[in-house]
């Protein structure tokens, strides 16, 4: 009997979207919810890899700019979640677990590695990257660094991805590098500068779990690479 691959998925309001997307890869996948509401950080020891999900703004105090809180959505900040996912990232790095970060997942990871965030993209003079007025995801083109690890994965210098966020990475965290950008310069993906003896780390600003085209290499290839790493 084949051993189950156990994936930890951090809790959020749309948790089911991420859980279902990961589980739909195959019958040998088991998902564990890692939740700041139950503080079940111990369950990470059962996991072969972790997905950091989307959701709330990261509190600016975590990147030493508490004055930027005024640009956050005050009803959409959870310091409790920030602190819990900090512990998740500490465990991931200490134990070399593969990690896939999506939207907020990219942002909190960038902060964890010492980076900062743009707290409100339009206020910083870039295009609106949040949902359309009818609540549908925005879609736009991105450019992938042809020398990046991500390029080898998605096999394309450009792609069309969805977008639903008002914050983004600013100063990039230590040991990370941007591997994809939007036309107005917003960071769309992060990866490790050096992968030698380091665990799998893929951070994307788009939402692969709900892209219109599930066969896009910016969806399918990312999930496959992550789960294959978790199975090792």
CA angle (181, 151, 231) in 5-degree steps: 115
- Catalytic-labelled residue, pool 103, 165, 188, 229: 103
Distances from the Cα of 99 to the Cα of 54, 131, 138, 157, angstroms: 14, 26, 25, 23
Q: Which of 85, 207, 229, 230 is catalytic?
A: 207
Burial class (CB in 10 A: 0-12, 13-18, 19+), 181: middle
- The question of whether 207 is a catalytic residue gets the answer yes
From 166, 168, 165, 41, select the one nearest 95 (Cα to Cα).
41
> In the chain, what are the domain boundaries?
5-230
Q: Which two tokens stand for residue 59?
A: 């509190």
Four-point Cα dihedral 228, 96, 163, 76, nearest 10 = 140
DSSP type of residue 121: G
Q: Are 201 and 99 in contact (CB under 8 A)?
A: yes
What is the torsion angle, in degrees rounded to the nearest 10, for the CA atoms of residue 138, residue 141, residue 142 and residue 147?
Answer: 150
**C-alpha span between 150 and 91 (Å, rounded):** 24
Q: How far apart are the C-alpha atoms of 232 and 222, rounded to whole Å?
A: 16
Q: What does the pLDDT read at residue 74?
A: 80
Determine the 3-state secondary structure of 219 from DSSP. coil
Q: Is 27 a catalytic residue?
A: no
Has 12 been annotated as catalytic? no
Helices assigned H by DSSP within the chain: 15-23, 79-95, 104-112, 149-154, 220-230
Go through the chain and tell me how many residues it has.
Answer: 232
Measure the CA–CA gap between 117 and 153, rounded to whole angstroms.
26
Catalytic residue among 56, 85, 191, 209: 209
pTM beyond 0.85: the answer is yes
E-strand stretches of 168-216? 168-169, 176-181, 187-192, 201-204
Pairing of strands 201-204, 99-102: parallel
CATH T-level fold of 5-230 = Rossmann fold (3.40.50)
Q: Consecutive 10-residue runs of the chain (232 residues): their mean pLDDT?
A: 87 97 94 97 97 96 96 91 98 97 98 98 93 92 97 96 96 98 97 90 98 96 97 92
Question: C-alpha angle with apex 47: 43 to 50, nearest 5 degrees?
Answer: 105
């Amino acid at each position: 009997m084949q051993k189950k691959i156990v994936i930890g998925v951090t809790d959020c309001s749309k948790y089911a979207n991420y859980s279902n997307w990961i589980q739909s890869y195959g019958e040998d996948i088991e998902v564990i919810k890692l939740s700041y509401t139950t503080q079940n950080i111990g369950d990470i020891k059962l996991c072969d890899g972790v997905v950091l999900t989307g959701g709330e703004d990261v509190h600016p105090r975590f990147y030493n700019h508490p004055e930027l809180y005024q640009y956050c959505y005050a009803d959409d900040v959870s310091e409790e979640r920030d602190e819990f996912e900090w512990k998740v990232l500490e465990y991931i790095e200490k134990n070399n677990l593969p990690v896939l970060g999506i939207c907020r997942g990219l942002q909190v990871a960038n902060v964890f590695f010492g980076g900062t965030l743009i707290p409100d993209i339009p206020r910083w003079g870039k295009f609106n990257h949040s949902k359309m007025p009818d609540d549908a995801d925005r879609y736009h083109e991105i450019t992938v660094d042809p020398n990046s690890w991500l390029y080898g994965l998605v096999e394309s210098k450009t792609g069309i991805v969805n977008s639903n966020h008002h914050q983004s990475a600013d100063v990039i965290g230590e040991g990370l590098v941007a591997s994809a950008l939007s036309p107005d310069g917003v960071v769309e993906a992060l990866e490790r500068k050096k992968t030698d003896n380091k665990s799998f780390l893929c951070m994307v600003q788009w939402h692969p779990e709900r892209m219109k085209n599930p066969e896009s290499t910016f969806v399918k290839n990312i999930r496959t690479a992550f789960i294959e790493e978790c199975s090792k």
